[in-house]
C-alpha cells in the first residue's frame, strides 16, 4: 500500500478537506455524451457542439468531473463518426472549430474536463491519406495495410491474404482496383486500417493528439484498442486464424479465435508511447494530468498490461465493462463476482478501478436489468472505489426505443442513442425544430431532467446524491488500507463500506432481489440514513442500530452514515 502523506493524514483526521494523494481521474465521475443526441442548437433535429455547450452547466449540477464526447470530427458518417475523413477538423453537422473552442472555454469556467474520442485504428476511405496511399504517393505507400493476396493452388485464382473476418462480419480484406492490392479493414469496408508498423503513421497520430491538446482537451478515449496491430509473418504473409468453436457461420466474427488480429504486444507498447507523450506534454505545458481511456473488450490480464508493466505507464483507465454484463436476474453474489474479476487483478497490481454503466453500443440499464434496478446500479458504481463512467440519460433512467429499420439506414444500436430527455415539453426540449434525428421515447414526459429535479427520490436525485458523496473524506480514502470493502451478506444483499478509519464511515446496502431482507447484527454501531431510493420506506435523517436489525424492501438501496 502507498504511504499516506502527513497532509493526507491531517485531512482524514479533520474530515474537512479531501485527501490529495489521488489524481483527479482516480475518483472521477465521467459522463459519455453522444453528440447527435444531447442537445440541438439550430433546429435541424441533430445535436451539436453549441447545444452541448449550452448544457455543460447541467453536468456541473449533477457532479460530473469530465465528459467524453463521441466523435465530432469530419466524417461521411458511414459509422456515425467512427470513420474519420479529417482528424483535424469538426464535421459541419456538429459545428466548427470556433464552436469547439467556445465549448472548451465554457467547460474550463465550470470546471468540467473534456475528453475526446480518439479513433486511431482506421480512417474513412474518404480520408486524403487513403487516397494518397492507394495512388502510391511517396511517403503514403504503406500508410495502410496492403497485400497482394495469395494464389489458390487448386483454382489458380487470387484470393485474400488470410481468412480474417471483420467485426461487422464478412472478410477483413477487400480488393482495390486502383491499387491492385487488398486492403485490410477490421471493421467496415469504408474504414481501412492504418498501418502502425509505419513510423510515419505513428507520427501523424501524435500530431492529432497534440492538435487537440493544444485546443485544451483533457484526455482521450481510445477506440477499438485491441485491433490496432495485426501479426504479420517474417515473410510478409498473414496466417489464417483458427476456428473458435463458437457458432456455425464462417462469416461471423466470433467464428474464429482472433489470435493474430487482437491484443498484439505492439499494441501494448503503443499505449506506453502515447502515455509518455501526454505526460511529456503536461511537463512542458503544465496543468492537470491528461488522461487516456482504453476501450478494450479484453481479458483483465490484458487490461493490466494496457495500464502499465511496472516500468512503463499506459492508459490510466482501461475501461472495465464487467458490470454491463449484469441482467435483471443478477444477484448480489453475481455483482460481487463481477467486481472480483476486476479487483483481484487490477486493484491488487495497480490500485486502480473504473466501472462502466453503459455506452452507445449497448442496451440501456433499464432494458438490460429492468427500470426498477436503474438506481441500484447507479448506487453501486458510485459507491465502489475508483472512477464511474455513465452514459448520458442513465442518470434519469432512460430506456431504449424501438427504432424502425428502413433498408440501408437500419442501425441496430439506434435504440440506445435517442435524444436526451430534458423536459416534458415538445421534443423533450432537445430541439426547437419539428423533428428529431431519432424518435424520442414516448415516456419522456415522465423520465426527464426537469421533472426529476422536483422528485425527491427520482433517479436523477439519487445519482446527484451519490456523486456528492464521492467528495467526502471516506470516499476519497479508498487507497488507505481498509478504506473500503464489499461483500454479498446474503444471496441478494450487497454491502459496500467506505471509511477513512478515523471519523467517517458509510455503509451502502443494496437489495438486488424481489423479496424482503432482514439483516441482524451487521455492526456494533448506530447509523443514520443519508440516502434512500424510491423503494425504501425509510426517511433521510432516521437512525438505525445495526447491532439489532435492519429491514430492506425489494429493490431497495440505502446509504447509511455512522453517527455513534
pLDDT tens sequence across 68-117:
999 999 999 999 999 999 999 999 999 999 999 999 999 999 999 999 99
Q: Average pLDDT of 264-282?
A: 98
Predicted pLDDT at 469: 97
Enumerate the β-bridge partners of residue 499. Answer: 505
Cβ atoms of 331 and 488 closer than 8 Å: yes
Task: Tell me which H or E stretch contains 332.
Answer: helix 332-342
pLDDT: which is higher, 564 or 557: 557
Quick check: is 295 catalytic? yes
Residue 3, pLDDT > 90, answer no
Predicted pLDDT at 297: 95
Cβ atoms of 31 and 67 closer than 8 Å: yes
**Taking phi first (over 0 means left), then psi (-120 to 50 degrees means alpha), and beta for anything else, what does residue 270 get?**
alpha
Quick check: is 223 catalytic? yes
Predicted pLDDT at 80: 96
Give the angle subtended at the CA of 202 by the CAs of 199 and 207, to the nearest 5°: 125
d(CA 272, CA 222): 13
pLDDT tens sequence across 429-456:
999 999 999 999 999 999 999 999 999 9
Q: SS3 breakdown of the chain: % helix, strand, coil, rounded to 5?
A: 30, 20, 50
Active-site residue identified among 40, 223, 230, 429:
223
Cβ atoms of 354 and 317 closer than 8 Å: yes
pLDDT tens sequence across 384-429:
999 999 999 999 999 999 997 654 445 578 999 999 999 999 999 9
Place of cell 442501425: 411
Active-site residue identified among 263, 295, 414, 504:
295
d(CA 50, CA 72): 12
Compute the CA torsion angle 411, 412, 413, 419 (nearest 10 deg).
70
pLDDT tens sequence across 149-166:
999 989 999 999 999 999
d(CA 436, CA 37): 9
d(CA 280, CA 287): 12
- Across the chain, mean pLDDT equals 94
Q: Is 528 helix (H, G, I), strand (E, B) or coil?
A: strand
Predicted pLDDT at 405: 64
Cα–Cα distance list, 22 to 12, 25, 477, 528 (Å):
13, 8, 9, 28
Residue 55, pLDDT > 60, answer yes
Cβ atoms of 460 and 434 closer than 8 Å: no
pLDDT tens sequence across 134-151:
999 999 999 999 999 999
Domains, the chain, ranges and CATH?
29-120+199-470 (3.20.20.80), 128-184 (3.90.400.10), 475-563 (2.60.40.1180)
Task: Look at the chain and count its residues.
Answer: 564
For the whole model, what pTM was predicted? 0.94
Q: Tell me the angle at which helices 374-383 and 459-469 cross, rounded to the nearest 10 degrees.
A: 10
Residue 289, pLDDT > 60, answer yes
Specify the DSSP class assigned to residue 333.
H
Predicted pLDDT at 404: 79
d(CA 473, CA 479): 12
Predicted pLDDT at 512: 98
Cβ atoms of 146 and 152 closer than 8 Å: no
Q: Read off the C-alpha cell for 132.
A: 494518397
Percent of the chain whose pLDDT exceeds 70: 95
Predicted pLDDT at 352: 96
pLDDT tens sequence across 474-523:
999 999 888 999 999 999 999 999 999 889 999 999 999 999 999 999 99
Nearest to 415 by CA among 401, 396, 399, 436: 401
d(CA 148, CA 158): 8
13 confidence band (pLDDT: 50, 70, 90): very low
Cβ atoms of 254 and 241 closer than 8 Å: no
d(CA 74, CA 87): 7
Backbone angles phi, psi at 13, to 5 degrees: -65, -40
Task: Tell me which H or E stretch contains 517.
Answer: strand 517-520
**Taking phi first (over 0 means left), then psi (-120 to 50 degrees means alpha), and beta for anything else, what does residue 141 get?**
alpha
d(CA 73, CA 84): 6
Predicted pLDDT at 501: 87
Amino acid at each position: 500500500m502507498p504511504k499516506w502523506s502527513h497532509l493526507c493524514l491531517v485531512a482524514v483526521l479533520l474530515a474537512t478537506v479531501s485527501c490529495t494523494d489521488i489524481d483527479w481521474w482516480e475518483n472521477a465521475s465521467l459522463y459519455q455524451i453522444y453528440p447527435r443526441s444531447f442537445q440541438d442548437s439550430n433546429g435541424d433535429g441533430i445535436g451539436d457542439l453549441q447545444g452541448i455547450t449550452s448544457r455543460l452547466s447541467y453536468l456541473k449540477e449533477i457532479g460530473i468531473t469530465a465528459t467524453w464526447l463521441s466523435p465530432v470530427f469530419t466524417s461521411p458518417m458511414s459509422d456515425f463518426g467512427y470513420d474519420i475523413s479529417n482528424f483535424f477538423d469538426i464535421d459541419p453537422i456538429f459545428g466548427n472549430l470556433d464552436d469547439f473552442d467556445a465549448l472548451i472555454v465554457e467547460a474550463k469556467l465550470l470546471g468540467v474536463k473534456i475528453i475526446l474520442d480518439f479513433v486511431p485504428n482506421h480512417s474513412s476511405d474518404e480520408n486524403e491519406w487513403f487516397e494518397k496511399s492507394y495512388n502510391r504517393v511517396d511517403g503514403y505507400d504503406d500508410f495502410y495495410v496492403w497485400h497482394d493476396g495469395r494464389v489458390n493452388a487448386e483454382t489458380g485464382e487470387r484470393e485474400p491474404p488470410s481468412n480474417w473476418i471483420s467485426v461487422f462480419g464478412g472478410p477483413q480484406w477487400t480488393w482495390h482496383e486502383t491499387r491492385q492490392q487488398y486492403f485490410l479493414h477490421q471493421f467496415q469496408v469504408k474504414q481501412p486500417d492504418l498501418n502502425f508498423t509505419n513510423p510515419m503513421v505513428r507520427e501523424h497520430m501524435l500530431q492529432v493528439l497534440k492538435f487537440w491538446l493544444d485546443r485544451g482537451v483533457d484526455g482521450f478515449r481510445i477506440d477499438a484498442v485491441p485491433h490496432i496491430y495485426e501479426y504479420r509473418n517474417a515473410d510478409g504473409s498473414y496466417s489464417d486464424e483458427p476456428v473458435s468453436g463458437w457458432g456455425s457461420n464462417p462469416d461471423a466474427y466470433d467464428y474464429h479465435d482472433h489470435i493474430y488480429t487482437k491484443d498484439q504486444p505492439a499494441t501494448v507498447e503503443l499505449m506506453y508511447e502515447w502515455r509518455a507523450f501526454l505526460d511529456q506534454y503536461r511537463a512542458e505545458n503544465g496543468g492537470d494530468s491528461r488522461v487516456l481511456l482504453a476501450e478494450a473488450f479484453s481479458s483483465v490480464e490484458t487490461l493490466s498490461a494496457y495500464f502499465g508493466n511496472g516500468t512503463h505507464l499506459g492508459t490510466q483507465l482501461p475501461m472495465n465493462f464487467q458490470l454491463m454484463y449484469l441482467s435483471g436476474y443478477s444477484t448480489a453474489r453475481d455483482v460481487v463476482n463481477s467486481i472480483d474479476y476486476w479487483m483481484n487483478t487490477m486493484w491488487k497490481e495497480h490500485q486502480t478501478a473504473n466501472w462502466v454503466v453503459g455506452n452507445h453500443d449497448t442496451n440501456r440499464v433499464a432494458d438490460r436489468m429492468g427500470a426498477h434496478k436503474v438506481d441500484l446500479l447507479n448506487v453501486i458504481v458510485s459507491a465502489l472505489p475508483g472512477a464511474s463512467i455513465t452514459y448520458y440519460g442513465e442518470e434519469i433512467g432512460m430506456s431504449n426505443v424501438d427504432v424502425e429499420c428502413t433498408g440501408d439506414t437500419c442501425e441496430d444500436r439506434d435504440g440506445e442513442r435517442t435524444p436526451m430527455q430534458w423536459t416534458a415539453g415538445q421534443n423533450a426540449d432537445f430541439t426547437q425544430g419539428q423533428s428529431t434525428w431519432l424518435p424520442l421515447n414516448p415516456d419522456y414526459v415522465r423520465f426527464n431532467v426537469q421533472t426529476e429535479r422536483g422528485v425527491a427520490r427520482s433517479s436523477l436525485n439519487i445519482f446527484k446524491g451519490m456523486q456528492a458523496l464521492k467528495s467526502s473524506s471516506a470516499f476519497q480514502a479508498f487507497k488507505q488500507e481498509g478504506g473500503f470493502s464489499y461483500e454479498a451478506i446474503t444471496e441478494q444483499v450487497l454491502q459496500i463500506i467506505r471509511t477513512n478509519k478515523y471519523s467517517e464511515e458509510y455503509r451502502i446496502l443494496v437489495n438486488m432481489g424481489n423479496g424482503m431482507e432482514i439483516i441482524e447484527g451487521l455492526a456494533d454501531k448506530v447509523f443514520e440514513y443519508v440516502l434512500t431510493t424510491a423503494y425504501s420506506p425509510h426517511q433521510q435523517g432516521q437512525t438505525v442500530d445495526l447491532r439489532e436489525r435492519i429491514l430492506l424492501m425489494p429493490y431497495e438501496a440505502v446509504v447509511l452514515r455512522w453517527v455513534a
